[in-house]
Homo-oligomer: A and B are copies of this chain.
């Protein structure tokens, strides 16, 4: 017996209505279950390990943290080191200099106190300067709100659009349809570089989106957390703020929020929970309300705040740490690019599979034309066809991907999202691709119409 103080019936119905995280818990739960079975009985499945290609979680896949970032964090945790001569032989002088600069931003060097609710003022100055240098347009430190990653602030808003190139006519149709049903649409979320697609928007498309939001009185919520991860040579990152400002639109012309985090760049510090939102073009009454909501839950964690400042102000040309920092960065990004290329090539060689070139972020998002028999089998087991395919993949190979139905996709099309993270040194990528190819061939054979 358990006490009846709370039952599911007495919970807030909105809690019950929440979808499971990403909707893919069935696959994640099954993967966890298989993992446990393998640990108990190594021969229990046709493979020896689960290979997680579902989550952007690079350090858990074996990627090493960036050395400069971690040196600075350690010195800020234990500033006593800065007064010891032995420290010079254990830490790079660039990291020592940076840690001193950062600690001096905290009165009494106290990194263990609550900061301003928006984040430590000096760190916001550094981040604002980094944004201004990136965009070549001014950035005000008062517009920066430091957060525990990019996840917490989003749930206040309603509408979103994801995808490869964004079609303005589709967008307009969806907006009008929502409004005709009485939905008060407040904003548009655009993820660039794209998740789940790995696509990087072209500037012309970004300008169309900015004008669309202006004309329709929508807040443009720009999820720009993959801004450092672009590996297509001809593409670059252009923030929506830079695009809007270069169109001549100022504070008074468009309401814009840009999100970034320390989780999603090539350095992948997911567990450190640092992020910011840059809030521009809101009237002061609305901004006061944003501040009020933010200040309800203390400041974000200081390690995450420091890390965010390092991301936006990494070692520069001329700094002692620049060469090694840049080598680490290029190493990671070129590894992503090689993985992505190998995956795209292999997927495109498979019957019924097409996969766009990956340009950024850490994903590929191939489309699979599933045979009717497979769709019928999925329906018979009350599963989405792409989830059916992903579960079969898991049971056969141990590879975990996210079915496209989790993100929404054109009716009658099926996709899966696969990360390009697996560590090359471990040869995991080769293993993944060869098991995938064998699985897909057998699957198509089994369900061929």
> Which residues 72-126 of A have a CB within 8 angstroms of B?
73-75, 77-78, 80-81, 84, 86-87, 89-90, 107-108, 110-115, 117
User: A74-B78, A298-B151 known; A10 and B186 CB under 8 Å?
Assistant: yes
13 residue pairs bridging A and B, Cβ less than 8 Å apart: A3-B214, A5-B218, A6-B219, A8-B289, A10-B186, A18-B296, A21-B117, A21-B296, A60-B107, A73-B74, A90-B90, A112-B270, A301-B301
Tell me the nearest residue of chain B to A116, going by C-beta: B32
Question: Is A272 on the interface with B (CB-CB < 8 A)?
Answer: yes
| B10 pairs with A108, CB closer than 8 A | no
| A251 pairs with B2, CB closer than 8 A | yes
**Beyond A65-B112, A73-B77, A74-B74: 4 further Cβ-contacts under 8 Å?**
A6-B255, A74-B77, A151-B296, A273-B302
Q: In the complex, A299 Cα to B6 Cα: how many Å? A: 25
Q: In the complex, A80 Cα to B253 Cα: how many Å? A: 49
Q: In the complex, A71 Cα to B74 Cα: how many Å? A: 9
User: A77-B70, A78-B71, A151-B297 known; A114 and B282 CB under 8 Å?
Assistant: no
Question: Closest CB of chain B to A243's CB: distance in Å?
Answer: 16
> Which residues 28-52 of A have a CB within 8 angstroms of B?
none
Residues of chain B within 8 A (CB-CB) of A5 are 186-187, 213, 217-219, 254-255
Interface size of A by CB at 8 A reads 91
Q: In the complex, A295 Cα to B28 Cα: how many Å? A: 13
Residues of chain B within 8 A (CB-CB) of A198 are none
Tell me the nearest residue of chain B to A120, going by C-beta: B271
Residue interface bits A232-255, CB-to-B below 8 A is 1, else 0: 000000000000000000011111
Residues of chain B within 8 A (CB-CB) of A194 are none
Q: In the complex, A249 Cα to B409 Cα: how many Å? A: 51
Question: Is A285 on the interface with B (CB-CB < 8 A)?
Answer: yes
| A272 pairs with B302, CB closer than 8 A | yes
Question: Closest CB of chain B to A423's CB: distance in Å?
Answer: 10
| B73 pairs with A6, CB closer than 8 A | no
User: A151-B297, A273-B298 known; A156 and B6 CB under 8 Å?
Assistant: no
Tell me the nearest residue of chain B to A251, going by C-beta: B2
| A293 pairs with B115, CB closer than 8 A | no
Question: Is A20 on the interface with B (CB-CB < 8 A)?
Answer: yes
User: A15-B293, A156-B12 known; A81 and B87 CB under 8 Å?
Assistant: no
Q: In the complex, A299 Cα to B440 Cα: how many Å? A: 34
Q: In the complex, A269 Cα to B87 Cα: how many Å? A: 24
| B60 pairs with A114, CB closer than 8 A | yes
| B110 pairs with A252, CB closer than 8 A | no
Question: Is A184 on the interface with B (CB-CB < 8 A)?
Answer: yes
| A286 pairs with B7, CB closer than 8 A | yes
Question: Closest CB of chain B to A52's CB: distance in Å?
Answer: 11
